[in-house]
Amino acid sequence: MNLYLSLEKALSSWPTKEALVDGHKRFTYAQFGARVAALANALLALGVKKGQVVAALSPNCHELMEIYYACGITGIILNPINFRLAEAEIDAILRDSETSILFRHSDFKKSANADAFTTLKHIICLGVDRLTTNTIESDYEEHIERHQNKPMPVADVHGDDLAQLYYTSGTTGRAKGVMLCHENVCVNALGAIAEIKLTDADTWAHIGPMFHLLDAWSVFAVTWVGAKHVFVPYFKPHEVLEILEAEHVTITALVPTMVNGLLHDPSLIARSFKTLRLIMTAGSPIAPEQVRKAVKSFGCDYVQFYGLTETSPFLTISTPKANQFSLNEDHILEIKSRTGRPFIGVHVRVVRDDGTDVERSNKEVGEIIAKGPVVFKGYWKQPETTAAAIIDGWFHTGDLAVINEEGSINIVDRKKDMIISGGENIYSTEVEYAMYEHSAVQECAVLGLPDEEWGELVKAFVVLKQGQSASEKELIEFVRHRLAKYKAPRLIEFVSELPKTGSGKIYKKGLREQAAKKAVEKLPQETQKK
């Protein structure tokens, strides 16, 4: 099983169907296939061999999808890089992955120039105003033209051959290269087709960044069924809403902060999304109140999926079972707002520290572990880290959750984000959900800060909706009326925005660092020097 199977299916069944829409550019599957063949031949002409790594630094665009497939059919490993990383972080990834060729979009020409990356032998430039004067750079479209009309160079690629190398953000130390093989990606894509009922009638909007598995999995699943791809380079709420409407999008995947951004865009109320059938979210838990607003505003269905880069990514999905659709609207909303039931072909458990399964009581908290064909091969050149993550064949996610009698899982926190105050466990998500019920709260993040008396105290960072107000005391009392008093924030800091990761998730590590810096700044100068 390899990634060419999905493209081969599209080329044989839907050659003349419109396949890709990228701004004013539109391609049929036959045209797309011809460009992929040309690019694949170009890579081979440059001397890149099966099993070697090339990297891509680009926003969502048709070229990035061509790169995914050109690498897939030749057995070359693609390393899609988070374009929000600093130059030094990108250089560390290129060195670690032994990348010698980089596809670079012109948007990053200044921040990712050849002089900064000494390991590179070649940079292939795409986008507008692509080239600089550097001698190791060449033009993407010139490579396509030079190798046009050449046959597809399909390599002898097997399921256990590496397909992609995704580097984690490195928030807990050295960035780790997650190795996904062809079988990982293919099984995940086929499972997604079945779970969300993708067909050639669908139009998928690539809104989440394609360097991240929030969206990258859809490249192959959507192609496999002959559906249409629409590319959105960067998340700008007004532009996203315009494209959803104009291109008759039927389905997409977002992180909760993106949903929040769309719900608060002034143009939303005047728009109509008659073709939109499903919005999916992933990346972090979503408050039920946000789900309710999204379903009402967009007039479509909603499901949440959960997974990690290490699991290709799907582990669970919140689609209700057939017998649950007869339940009342609030109960169905509650089911869809959970992390969900296990995805097709994946074994998922919630376990105690001793490895035994927690009770299906929806109360006892344990760690999610998983096994199956979507689980990664390991971390690139980090066998000890791999061994610590995969124990007896089970990948330990580090996510804490409960499970109910229906087998539906619900995440309560990351292990590192759980707050222990006065000996009591407090899960940041439940505090955040309570905060989101307040009409003035647009975004919030809850974390624990060191405290001499309690061990940790609960602090919330809050972004208020434009034109609305709320005091610290008001919000604390609001939460105390919904949760146990010890779970309510002791401190609230109002901010204009929350820091985000490259995929758009709220960056709690950044908030901790900011809080720690402020705490040090408040200390007497003599204490700071110690």
| 116-139 average pLDDT score | 83
Residue 504 has pLDDT above 60, yes or no: yes
Q: How confident is residue 521, by pLDDT bands cut at 50, 70 and 90?
A: low
Per-residue pLDDT at 300: 97
Q: Is the N-terminal amide bond of 313 cis, ω within 30° of 0?
A: yes
Ranking 29-33, 221-225, 343-347, 431-435 by mean pLDDT, the lowest is: 431-435
- Report the share of the chain in percent with pLDDT over 70: 95
Per-residue pLDDT at 527: 34
Residue 529 has pLDDT above 50, yes or no: no
Residue 523 has pLDDT above 80, yes or no: no
Per-residue pLDDT at 497: 93
Q: How confident is residue 283, by pLDDT bands cut at 50, 70 and 90?
A: confident
| 182-211 average pLDDT score | 98
Per-residue pLDDT at 114: 66
Letter for the amino acid at 167? Answer: Y
Q: What does the mean pLDDT of the chain come to?
A: 91
**How far apart, in whole angstroms, are the C-alpha atoms of residue 223 and residue 29?**
9
Per-residue pLDDT at 526: 44
DSSP string, 232-294: -SS--HHHHHHHHHHTT--EEEE-HHHHHHHHT-TTGGG---TT--EEEE-SS---HHHHHHH
| 82-104 average pLDDT score | 90
- Per residue in 290-310, pLDDT (tens digit) is 899 999 999 999 999 999 999
- Quote the pTM value: 0.85
First to last CA, the chain: 59
Per-residue pLDDT at 173: 54
**How far apart, in whole angstroms, are the C-alpha atoms of residue 213 and residue 451?**
37
Q: How confident is residue 257, by pLDDT bands cut at 50, 70 and 90?
A: confident
CATH for 424-529?
3.30.300.30
| 7-34 average pLDDT score | 98
Ranking 126-130, 171-175, 203-207 by mean pLDDT, the lowest is: 171-175
The second-level CATH assignment, the architecture, of 1-12+21-180 is 3-Layer(aba) Sandwich (3.40)
Tracing tokens 């984690």 back to the chain, one arrives at: 168
| 236-247 average pLDDT score | 97
Residue extents of the structural domains in the chain:
1-12+21-180, 424-529
Q: How confident is residue 68, by pLDDT bands cut at 50, 70 and 90?
A: very high
Ranking 311-315, 361-365, 448-452 by mean pLDDT, the lowest is: 448-452
> What is residue 340's DSSP assignment?
B
Per-residue pLDDT at 132: 67
| 218-224 average pLDDT score | 98
Residue 172 has pLDDT above 50, yes or no: no
